Chains A and B, each alone.
Chain A
């Protein structure tokens, strides 16, 4: 066995193994390792980008929610303002109307008062005339003097006051 040590065999075996090594390296080891590493990297990259996109989406969602909230607040504010203004307007209109109504009422009442006083005065005059006529008829005397008339008026006033 040992006497069979042979330099040519050494060379043949070494050459064979080296050729086998270079072919296997290119065909199997380097190829499959590179392939798996590329795949690992691409998976890592896609996970990273998905992660990034998710974070971005969350950020945007937050932003939009904030905007929505601001918009809603704004709308509420505007609505409240409008409502307040409406109420104020309404109040002022109602108040103005009430005032106007009171004024009209007061003036109407005044008018009525005045008419009544006028009427009273006229009636009083007529009643006095009538009374005078009736009295002069009764006493057959001419009572159509100034003093008599003043007397009757005084009388009517007293009666009216009573």
Chain B
């Protein structure tokens, strides 16, 4: 149980002192940096020297971008161009973030010290490669960004009056509920993602504790891979539905 509590806690690995502020950097932030660097390298590699006749990795890049573009086009329609890059980025980020616990076998912190014997790792705090989306801060930020994007795009594409008019639809009685909707969307988006990933993570930790060989691998396929990709898809899908509603 101690171990479980340990992995559930968001560890502050180190602090950044900037402008007189003390900014704690937790493991979820570090994993986010790792994911970001990975995605940037990935994007750089697959889009290097694009050719008219695609081959190899370029095929993959085209299929990936086309899939995301079509997905956003189907949901948002006319204004897809403004949203496809953001939602695509969120989608790729979430996929990698949600399934990253399959890389938790990579040793970090004290384990690394035990293996390598390097003193450099000796005083590292408890740090493991865990989905950053099991940190409520990360999912809440993403939910907030989606809601702000919905609000912003609604004002941008329908201007302020159009947006205000949209709040009074279908009838003025609905105004408080429509305003409330922004809050509930924020909560549902962030808590759904957070809850799913955290639950899958806890279940997998329990299974690792109970049964050690072979079986966790199969369960990991469901809880880490399937659930992770599904939640990424749902988050992006709901975001695009909200945006479509806002800009139509």
Contact = CB atoms under 8 A, between A and B. Distances in A.
B145 A29 contact: no
A28 interface: yes
Interface of A: 1-2, 4-6, 8-10, 12-14, 16-17, 19-21, 23-25, 27-33, 35-36, 39, 42
A33 B65 contact: yes
Nearest to B23: A8
A27 B61 CA distance: 11
A4 B46 CA distance: 38
Nearest to B90: A17
B43 A27 contact: yes
B138 interface: yes
B85 A25 contact: yes
Given A13-B32, A39-B52, A32 B8 contact: no
A4 B47 CA distance: 39
Interface in B53-74: 61-62, 65-66, 68-69
B142 interface: yes
Interface in B127-148: 135-138, 140-142, 144-145
B137 A31 contact: no
B161 interface: no
A24 B32 contact: no
Considering residues B46, B136, B137, B140, which has the most beta carbons from chain A within 10 angstroms of its beta carbon? Answer: B137
Contact of A5 (B36, B86, B137): B137
Contacts of B92: 24
A17 B136 contact: no
A24 B39 contact: yes
B1 interface: no
Nearest to B26: A9
17 contacts: A1-B136, A4-B136, A5-B136, A8-B21, A8-B23, A10-B140, A12-B25, A17-B89, A20-B89, A23-B40, A25-B86, A29-B68, A29-B85, A30-B85, A31-B50, A32-B62, A36-B62
Given A1-B8, A10-B137, A10-B144, A16 B61 contact: no
Contacts of B226: none
B93 interface: yes
Given A6-B24, A12-B29, A29-B84, A36 B66 contact: yes
Nearest to B8: A1
Contact of A32 (B23, B25, B29, B50): B50
B89 A24 contact: yes
B141 A13 contact: yes
A12 B33 CA distance: 10
Nearest to B68: A29
A20 B145 contact: no
The 6 A-B residue pairs with the shortest CB-CB distance, nearest first, are A29-B85, A25-B85, A28-B43, A9-B137, A13-B141, A32-B65
A25 B136 contact: no
Contacts of B88: 24, 28-29
A91 to B, nearest CB: 76
Contact of A28 (B26, B65, B141): B65
Contacts of B198: 1
A18 to B, nearest CB: 8
A17 B93 contact: yes
B137 A32 contact: no
Contacts of A28: 43, 46-47, 61, 65, 88
Nearest to A8: B23
Given A16-B29, A27-B40, A27-B43, A21 B136 contact: no
Contacts of A42: 52
Contact of A24 (B33, B66, B85, B142): B85
Nearest to A4: B10
Contacts of B65: 28-29, 32-33, 36
